[in-house]
């Protein structure tokens, strides 16, 4: 019964004995659990309310890259599996001013993505949104949250962390901000990898060009870049978070969807709500598995889940 998972654990951790592999997995899972606890505690202290995740909806995040459709037929209609809770987050702010959710996302990535070691087709993001907040407010919040959770993990699991990841240290804030276009001009199309490999502290990538992101991130007054950001982890771990200020005015949302080539029909449920009025907001989603990979210094996001689903594979 235990043979298959045990073999998998040996392969993952490149160790000779099953017990050693299980020990590493046990440590990673304990750190992951503690991390989610400390994120929730931090956000509650900041006045956030946790809401339950949405798993199925008539529409979901269109994303900026194509993945296979994940839909389930239901009577005469279809539900999509959540790719991100972006639209529901915006709507939730009608009721509560600061919300977060540990949101399971299904993104059926194409099989080439397996080699990135950053993609799972089922993953979880800590998704948060704040009414009336600016991008600046979210950058500040996340910087403080990162320090707080790293300190918490260091205090609780320093021995495991030292063994797993000798490079572990609490990041220093504020994180440097790098403008997308300047980085692109200097380092070319692969700038994110180059900069992440060079960095020793997380940094922000800001002002992402309009065609590199979804229609819901707010267009800046220059008409070319968005008031948004990615958080990039150092030592080559790459992107860990995306977010920004949001378009909330119906006309602007429709305009952005047209420019981007999104079908208005597909998002009719959302557009109806936007017509009634959406709260002005900013927020972000931070991938749990990528953060655990970075904290524990793991080769792949696969090592952060017991039942990891990798691009192009069918597995338990
Ligand atoms: N929707 C983004 C993502 O999942 C996160 C966000 O903008 O809040 O990448
Ligand atoms: Mg992203």
Q: Is 160 in the pocket of ligand 1 (CB under 6 A)?
A: no
Is the per-residue pLDDT at 306 higher than 80? Answer: yes
Q: 6 versus 208: which is more confidently predicted?
A: 208
**What confidence score (pLDDT) does residue 114 get?**
97
Over the stretch 169-183, which tens digit does the pLDDT of each residue have? Answer: 999 999 999 999 999
- Reported as half-sphere exposure (CB side, CA atoms, 13 A), residue 223 has a value of 2
Over the stretch 68-116, which tens digit does the pLDDT of each residue have? Answer: 999 999 999 999 999 999 999 999 999 999 999 999 999 999 999 999 9
Q: Which of 285, 286, 290 to mutate to test the pocket of ligand 1 (most atoms within 8 A of CB)?
A: 285
Is the per-residue pLDDT at 2 higher than 70? Answer: no
Is the per-residue pLDDT at 4 higher than 70? Answer: no
Per-residue confidence at 1, pLDDT binned at 50, 70, 90? very low
**What confidence score (pLDDT) does residue 8 get?**
75
Rg (CA), the chain: 20
Rounded Cα distance, 133 and 100, in Å: 14
Is the per-residue pLDDT at 188 higher than 50? Answer: yes
Q: Ligand 1, residue 129: give the atom nearest the CA.
A: 8
- pTM, rounded to two decimals: 0.96
CA of 123 to the centre of ligand 2 (A): 13
Average pLDDT score, the chain = 96
Mean local confidence (pLDDT), 26-37: 97
Per-residue confidence at 12, pLDDT binned at 50, 70, 90? confident
Residue nearest to ligand 1 atom 7, measured at CA: 243
Per-residue confidence at 229, pLDDT binned at 50, 70, 90? very high
Q: Is 283 in the pocket of ligand 1 (CB under 6 A)?
A: yes
CA of 20 to the centre of ligand 2 (A): 34
Neighbours of ion ligand 2 (CB under 5 A): 242
Is the per-residue pLDDT at 3 higher than 70? Answer: no
């Amino acid at each position: 019964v235990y043979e298959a998972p045990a073999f998998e654990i040996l392969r993952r951790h490149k160790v000779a004995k099953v017990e050693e592999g299980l020990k590493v997995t046990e440590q990673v899972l304990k750190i992951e659990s503690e991390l989610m606890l400390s994120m929730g505690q931090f956000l509650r202290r900041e006045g956030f309310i946790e809401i339950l995740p949405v798993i199925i909806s008539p529409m979901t995040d269109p994303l900026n890259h194509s993945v296979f459709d994940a839909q389930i037929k239901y009577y005469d209609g279809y539900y999509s599996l959540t790719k991100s809770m972006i639209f529901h987050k915006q709507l939730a702010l009608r009721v509560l001013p600061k919300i977060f959710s540990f949101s399971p996302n299904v993104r059926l990535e194409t099989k080439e993505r397996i080699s990135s070691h950053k993609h799972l087709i089922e993953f979880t993001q800590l998704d948060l949104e704040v009414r009336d907040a600016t991008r600046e407010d979210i950058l500040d919040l996340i910087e403080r949250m990162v320090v707080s959770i790293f300190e918490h993990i260091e205090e609780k699991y320093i021995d495991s962390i030292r063994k797993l990841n000798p490079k572990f240290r609490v990041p220093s804030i504020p994180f440097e901000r790098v403008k997308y276009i300047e980085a692109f001009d200097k380092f070319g199309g692969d700038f994110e990898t180059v900069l992440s490999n060079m960095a020793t502290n997380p940094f922000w990538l800001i002002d992402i060009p309009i065609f590199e992101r979804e229609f819901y991130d707010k267009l800046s007054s220059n008409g070319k870049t968005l008031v948004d950001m990615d958080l990039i982890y150092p030592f080559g771990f790459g992107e860990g978070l995306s977010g920004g200020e949001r378009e909330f005015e119906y006309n602007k949302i429709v305009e952005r969807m047209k420019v981007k080539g999104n079908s208005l029909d597909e998002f009719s449920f959302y557009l109806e709500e936007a017509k009634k009025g959406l709260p002005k907001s900013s927020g972000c989603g931070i991938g749990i598995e990528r953060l655990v990979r970075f904290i524990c210094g793991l080769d792949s996001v696969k090592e952060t889940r017991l039942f990891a689903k990798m691009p192009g594979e069918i597995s338990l």
